[in-house]
Amino acid sequence: MELSEYARRNRRIVIPLLAVPLIAGLSGAGWALTQPAEYTHSSEVQVPTGAGQNGAAAVEQTISTFRTLAGSATVIDRVAKETGVGADALRERLTTGRPVSGGQRGVLVRVHFTGPDPAQVVAVTRSATAATTETLLGQALTQARQSATSAGKTAEQARDALADGVKRFGGLPAERYRTLLGEMTRLETELVAPVSKRSDKDVRKAIKTLRGRIEAAAPQVLEYQALQDAAVQSARKATEAGQRSGEVAASLSAANAAITPVTPEAQPLSRGALILRASGLSGGVGLALAVLIVVLRRPGGRRVTVPEAVSPPPVPVP
């Protein structure tokens, strides 16, 4: 039997079944209309790439790290504590993206969140953006501060060693050494062109004595210069480490200050897509149910008529 013939013969069943998908779709749309309103909000931040990381590959790596950290347990837990939103809701609804156009697209990231409370939605995007930025730069800032502290201690030790050397040498050996050299030059000149009544023997004796003093002062001069060079280099490294720490801290502050909401307030989500999706899904389920009922009620073959049993004629009693 053809399906059209079956429908013609069973109009009383088929016509109500056709209403099943319609009723199911309307029910899905009604359910969607009863759901609480949803709001969405986005915050935008210019992700700091750090000094010496201006190449395209470095920028992409930093952006990828930022987006990964936005969904990390560290960020989720912090945002949950600051905003009161559950961690599960944050994992499900907190997302990141990048602007589709714009001159700053290479370093811009947008953090999105959707929820029923418009004020809370705005707070989540702000908190998540700041937490992710601080997590991204936190390790670099910690390392920079540790390096600055270590370099400062090294510079202080070098200064103390230099001061101890000056005390041990009884002054500045370099200055004393230069004085001795000047005296040697004067005596050698006097030996060639006498300017006093001293004899050459006395002058040579003075030169010999002075040469011994110069030879004794030379090691002190070398040691002092080594201490002085170490103090200068350690002071330079301490200054550079302090500058690096300040740069990272300034970069973090600038990034937090540059967090910008894409819209001033959370925007309500359109229910059109939800209604269409719910009604379509419900209508599809209803259609499948109607088809199943039709298939189950449709005969699998021709019905066979079984003849009624014929009773035998009564037997006469003699």
pLDDT tens, residue by residue, 185-205? 888 888 788 777 778 888 888
Q: What is the pLDDT of residues 21-64, one digit of tens each?
A: 777 667 766 765 656 678 899 999 888 765 555 567 878 888 88
User: Does residue 70 form part of some domain?
Assistant: no
pLDDT band with cut points at 50, 70 and 90 for residue 183: confident
User: Does residue 21 form part of some domain?
Assistant: yes
Q: What range does the domain containing 158 cover?
A: 151-242
Whether residues 155 and 224 fall in one domain: yes
Q: What is the tally of structural domains in the chain?
A: 2
User: Does residue 119 form part of some domain?
Assistant: no
User: Does residue 220 form part of some domain?
Assistant: yes
Considering Cα of 15, then 18, then 24, then 27, what sign does the dihedral take?
Answer: negative
Whether residues 168 and 225 fall in one domain: yes
Whether residues 217 and 295 fall in one domain: no
Whether residues 230 and 279 fall in one domain: no
- Does residue 205 or residue 99 have the better pLDDT? 205
The identity of residue 163, as a single letter, is A
Q: What's residue 50's pLDDT? A: 59
Whether residues 236 and 159 fall in one domain: yes
- Does residue 104 or residue 82 have the better pLDDT? 82
Whether residues 159 and 236 fall in one domain: yes
Q: What's the pTM?
A: 0.57
Closest CA to 91 of 118, 64, 124: 124
Q: What is the pLDDT of residues 274-305, one digit of tens each?
A: 566 767 777 677 777 767 776 666 555 444 44
Whether residues 158 and 237 fall in one domain: yes
Q: Lowest mean pLDDT: which of 4-8, 55-59, 96-100, 105-109?
A: 4-8
User: Does residue 109 form part of some domain?
Assistant: no
User: Does residue 99 form part of some domain?
Assistant: no
Check if the beta carbon of residue 161 is closer than 8 Å to that of residue 231. yes
Nearest 5°: phi and psi at 6? Answer: -65, -40
User: Does residue 93 form part of some domain?
Assistant: no
* Average pLDDT rounded to a whole number, residues 240-248: 88
Q: What's residue 35's pLDDT? A: 62
User: Does residue 292 form part of some domain?
Assistant: yes
